[in-house]
């Protein structure tokens, strides 16, 4: 038990450090490449913070634990849009970019709906994983091109700042910090999950419950840390972009790659309960985003209550 607690605290420390590196260096990189922080959150940061889910899902699928694989992803998506977004909004109300409403939310919702319909027969097949990867590549290329096109005209002050920062030395430094940040998030989350999973298994709970709660929370810690740090730094575009991008990556990248390696079985309870919750929470945040173009503290508190109720329902089932 003491080893598990040690893993928990060590993982949390490395997560915080990795999140700080990732947010700071990603923001600098956005300026140098003339890409908005929102797009960096949707791509680089989202991919980095989704890496723990990828490792856990592949390992679970190969070891014959499909409920851990699917539960981890579905639970993480619910956690991102309820717990993480709620905490971030309470720290600082989150401004909502127009593109988040017109492009990123529809992609998040569309990916969730597509997943639901594809797994109604109880299996996510390899060719469906290929479809997910193709959709992810197309979406990523689209948002990067759109951002660079919209940011090709910058002020004289920004040009001077860009010239001062855009040296190979600074660029290499940012890339190194991003790699260190992603590595910290990866290992920190892995240690946290190992400690939490060991404690949960001692209590004799099911794989679905472990996947939906312990693994989902543990692998969502990078998003929680990164989004919280971004909110404290008043970089709320990065926080919202990270969460939207992470949910898209979780479905299209993690389930896509994992199902290509090994087809994923989906239990009836995950399909009829947890996926419905995921779709409901994703739908719920749209009016929150549209209203006053920000997710405020009251909305954040409501999301936390929803996540608390959902967790209670899972644990009591």
Q: How confident is the model at residue 222 (pLDDT cuts 50, 70, 90)?
A: confident
Residue 155's pLDDT band (boundaries 50, 70, 90)?
Answer: very low
Q: What is 206-240 written as a DSSP string?
A: -HHHIIIIIIHHHHHHHHHHHHHHHHHTT-HHHHH
Strands (E), 76-197: 94-95, 123-124
Q: What is the mean pLDDT of residues 85-94?
A: 90
pLDDT (tens digit, 9 = 90+) per residue, 25-73? 876 777 676 666 667 766 676 676 666 667 777 877 887 878 888 988 9
pLDDT at residue 191 above 70?
A: yes
Q: How confident is the model at residue 154 (pLDDT cuts 50, 70, 90)?
A: very low
Q: Per-residue pLDDT for 209 more than 80?
A: yes
Closest CA to 51 of 230, 236, 137, 179: 179
Per residue in 248-262, pLDDT (tens digit) is 988 999 899 999 999
| pLDDT surpasses 90 at 194 | no
The per-residue pLDDT for 156 is: 41
* pLDDT at position 237: 66
Tell me what the pLDDT averaged over the chain comes to. Answer: 81
| Residue 260, domain CATH | 1.20.1420.30
Q: What percent of the chain has pLDDT over 90?
A: 33
Q: How many domains are there within the chain?
A: 1
Domain range for residue 119?
A: 2-316
Cα–Cα distance for residue pair 201/181, rounded to 1 Å: 30
Q: What is the pLDDT of residue 308?
A: 94
Q: Which of 214, 252, 281 is nearest to 80 (CA)?
A: 281
| Both tokens assigned to 190 | 């892995």
Q: What is the mean pLDDT of residues 299-310?
A: 95
Residue 166 has pLDDT above 60, yes or no: no
Q: What is the pLDDT of residue 2?
A: 67
pLDDT value for 153 = 46
What is the pLDDT confidence band of residue 273, given thresholds at 50, 70 and 90? Answer: very high
């Amino acid at each position: 038990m003491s080893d598990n607690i040690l893993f928990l605290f060590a993982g949390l420390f490395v997560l915080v450090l990795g999140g700080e590196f990732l947010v700071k260096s990603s923001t600098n990189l956005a300026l140098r490449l003339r890409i908005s922080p929102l797009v960096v959150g949707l791509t680089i940061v989202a991919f980095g913070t989704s890496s723990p889910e990828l490792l856990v899902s592949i390992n679970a699928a190969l070891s014959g634990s499909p409920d851990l694989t699917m539960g981890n992803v579905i639970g993480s998506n619910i956690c991102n849009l309820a717990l993480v977004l709620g905490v971030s909004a309470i720290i600082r109300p989150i401004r909502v970019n127009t593109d988040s409403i017109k492009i990123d939310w529809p992609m998040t919702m569309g990916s969730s709906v597509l997943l639901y319909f594809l797994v109604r027969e109880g299996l996510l097949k390899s060719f469906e994983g290929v479809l997910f990867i193709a959709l992810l590549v197309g979406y990523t290329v689209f948002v990067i091109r759109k951002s660079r096109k919209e940011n090709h005209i910058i002020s004289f002050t920004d040009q001077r700042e860009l010239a001062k920062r855009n040296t190979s030395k600074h660029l290499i430094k940012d890339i190194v910090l991003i790699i260190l940040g992603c590595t910290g998030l990866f290992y920190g989350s892995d240690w946290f999950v190992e400690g939490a999973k060991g404690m949960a298994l001692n209590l004799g709970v099911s794989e679905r419950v472990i996947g939906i709660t312990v693994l989902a929370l543990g692998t969502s810690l990078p998003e929680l840390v990164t989004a919280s740090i971004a909110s404290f730094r008043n970089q709320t575009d990065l926080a919202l972009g990270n969460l939207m991008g992470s949910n898209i990556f979780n479905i299209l990248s993690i389930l896509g790659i994992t199902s290509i390696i090994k087809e994923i079985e989906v239990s009836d309870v995950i399909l009829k309960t947890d996926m419905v919750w995921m779709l409901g929470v994703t739908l719920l945040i749209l009016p929150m985003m549209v209203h006053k173009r920000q997710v405020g503290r009251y909305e954040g508190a409501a999301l936390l209550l929803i996540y608390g109720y959902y967790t209670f329902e899972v644990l009591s089932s």
